[in-house]
Amino acid sequence: MSSDHDLPVSTHTRRSIFKLGGGAVAAATFVGVAATPASADPAGSTTEAVDRVPRNYSTRDPHAGTVRTRRKRRGSDPVITILPIDNAKFRAGGRFDLRVEVDGVTPIDAKVTIRVAGPTGPAAVLDKKAHRPYAASDQVVILYPDLTYPEPGEYTVEVTVVRKGAKTIRASVTHEVVGAGEGGAKNVVFFLGDGMGTAAITGARLLSKGMTQGKYRGLLAMDTMDDCGLVGTSGADSIATDSANSMSAYMCGHKSSVNAMGVYESSETDHDRHPRVETMAELVKRTRGMSVGIVSTAEVQDATPAAVFAHTRQRAEYLAIMDQALDPVRRPEVLMGGGLASLLPKSHEDSRREDDRDLVEEFQAEGYSFASTRAELSKVADESPDRLLGLFHTRNLNVYLDRQQIRDPKVLGDWDDQPTLMEMTAAALRVLEKNDEGFFLMVEAASIDKMEHPLDGPRAVYDTIELDQTLRLVREWAADRDDTLIVVTADHNHAMSIAGTHDTREGAGRDGNGVYGDAGFPTYVDSDGDGFPDDPDPDVQLFFGWSNHPDHTDDFQHNPTFLDPAVIDDETGRAVPNPQRDPDAELQLGNLPVSSTTCVHTVEDVSIFASGPGSHRFNAFLDNTEVFHRMIDALGIDATRDR
């Protein structure tokens, strides 16, 4: 039942393909698969220095430290890498790229055979033409794009490498493939509190509801969800994750590497050419014609919002991510947050683009209504558009405390009319609920993480309260419906903890820190009942501790103006305490690498809460990839069917 076909690969290569019926391929052999380089033009970093420190110092983006600096170790024997990785889980009919890399061989002398076996024997999966991307001189690379596993069951991909005068080497991976779930949900609203560990939730409850004699005077909306569990957040490359690959696990059902989304990390040098897996946006649009909404307080190209639809090895590729956002196969019907700088033509003073494209106009040409202020959003929402683009800052939105309460003109600048997360989400629901096929809405409180990195506990907690109030709004919207699954979780944990209280009446610095019985209770007051304390700096406030941190000074009180805890000494490249933040306070010696200016993500599990049809599936410990599959099961999506 098989036949051999010799096909020219290059002037010095040939390929032998073994076919099974229907033109699909269960095995393929490649001999001498050398290739020539393809052009690549990776975009540069999108980070920028902030002029708020002395001239001899510079600030650093919190994610600058996520770049891998240690080389991967490899022995003397050739190494076979198969992507997707071992134990990966797929939906039957879900799209993915298969990439095989063989390192440490001479390409002209290596014969590589790839076999795929399914639940009933050889599986006709290799039904696309194999590509041979650029590879190093001692490497063989083979890529099959856009494959699918046709039916549920266990599949094995086996690679055999035969070399002249050397031993044969083999490697294999096993993949689990599942079919459509039982369904029950028409819509999914997925809340992501970036970096929202237990300390952020506890702090939000203490500040928003208060406590009397050890009992809370009220509960958060997430406290009263139907089901809850825990999620493990580690990635394919490390126990410590970042927001890109952790959110990608939720949106694809596959592990990835730090800074990557929608792809498996390979040796490819072009960030856009790593092997892809189908994203949530692509899947729900392809199979059911559902609408997709993204609401975030970050730039809409940032890791969490982008992972809903995008594929890239490098989360900083904001311009390439925006190009993907315009592709109809993954384009969200609602896109709201910050990040206007990536859409404005280079002639605009706030643009980060290097061309004259105006992506706002391009979205409008596709039928999007556009809003850039809170007032404009209110007006546009009342007009009930079919598509909505809302960008309310060139960068990230300001945090809730600065945006809604303090409102310092020096901090807000021209962006003094930004909406709340509640207002953006309410507008998104008005657009998305019009689709009879349902919708997937992702809502992110991004600056929980963005304030935890620089050790700013109060600002992180206020943004956690904003997330919870947005959850309350969505739960009220869904109260009379039985078709909407609501899920709340975090992408990773963080260094923040609450050790007790800090009482300014007892003394400055550490003298004011109370623990155990001396902690008592904080004295935050919410006189207007809006759920946010009137003053983040009462006499007795929370004493925030940090499990990891740089060298910095800390007076343990709320900082009226946000400042980074540490900066880079430009002469030495080492992090030093920021001389403008708590300059007279005691030095806290750091425990991070000497170039770190902020705290980093931690490895502990995060909580997950769910209500609505299918919520029982989340009442357990889950790997982060499993969250994707539980949501798809609740929707009852059959990935083998295109609409």
Q: Is 302 labeled as ligand-binding?
A: yes
Quick check: 387 and 431 in contact, CB under 8 A? yes
- What's the CA gap between 427 and 334, in Å, rounded? 9
Strands 439-445, 606-611: parallel, antiparallel or unpaired by DSSP?
unpaired
**DSSP structure string for 561-600:** S---SEEEETTT--EEE-TTSSTTSEEE---S-TT--S--
Strands 25-31, 110-118: parallel, antiparallel or unpaired by DSSP?
antiparallel
Q: Is 6 labeled as ligand-binding?
A: no
Tokens encoding 78:
């050739």
Quick check: 83 and 172 in contact, CB under 8 A? no
Quick check: 505 and 459 in contact, CB under 8 A? no
- What's the CA gap between 335 and 360, in Å, rounded? 11
Q: Which residues of 156-194 are buried (b: 16+ CB within 10 A; e: fewer)?
A: ebbbbbbbeeeeebebebebebbebbeebbbbbbbbbbb
Cβ neighbours for 326, distance < 8 A, ≥ 6 positions apart: 359, 362, 363, 366
Cβ neighbours for 457, distance < 8 A, ≥ 6 positions apart: 203, 451, 496, 498, 542, 544
Of 86, 79, 92, 137, the C-alpha closest to 119 is 92
Q: Is 549 labeled as ligand-binding?
A: no
Q: Is 492 labeled as ligand-binding?
A: yes
Q: Which residues of 554-573 are buried (b: 16+ CB within 10 A; e: fewer)?
A: bbbbbbeebbbbbbbeeeee
Strands 552-554, 586-588: parallel, antiparallel or unpaired by DSSP?
antiparallel
> Helix or strand or coil: residue 411?
helix
Is position 384 annotated as part of the catalytic site?
no
Q: Is 602 labeled as ligand-binding?
A: no
Q: Is 601 labeled as ligand-binding?
A: yes
Q: Which residues pair with 497 in a beta bridge?
A: 545
Other Cβ atoms within 10 Å of 6 Cβ, number: 10
- What's the CA gap between 476 and 485, in Å, rounded? 13
Q: Is 354 labeled as ligand-binding?
A: no
Q: Is 502 labeled as ligand-binding?
A: no
Q: Is 194 labeled as ligand-binding?
A: yes
Choice among 208, 234, 243, 372 that is catalytic = 243
Residues designated as active site: 243
Binding site feature residues for Zn(2+) = 194, 449, 453, 491-492, 601
Binding site feature residues for Mg(2+) = 194, 302, 304, 444
Binding site feature residues = 194, 302, 304, 444, 449, 453, 491-492, 601
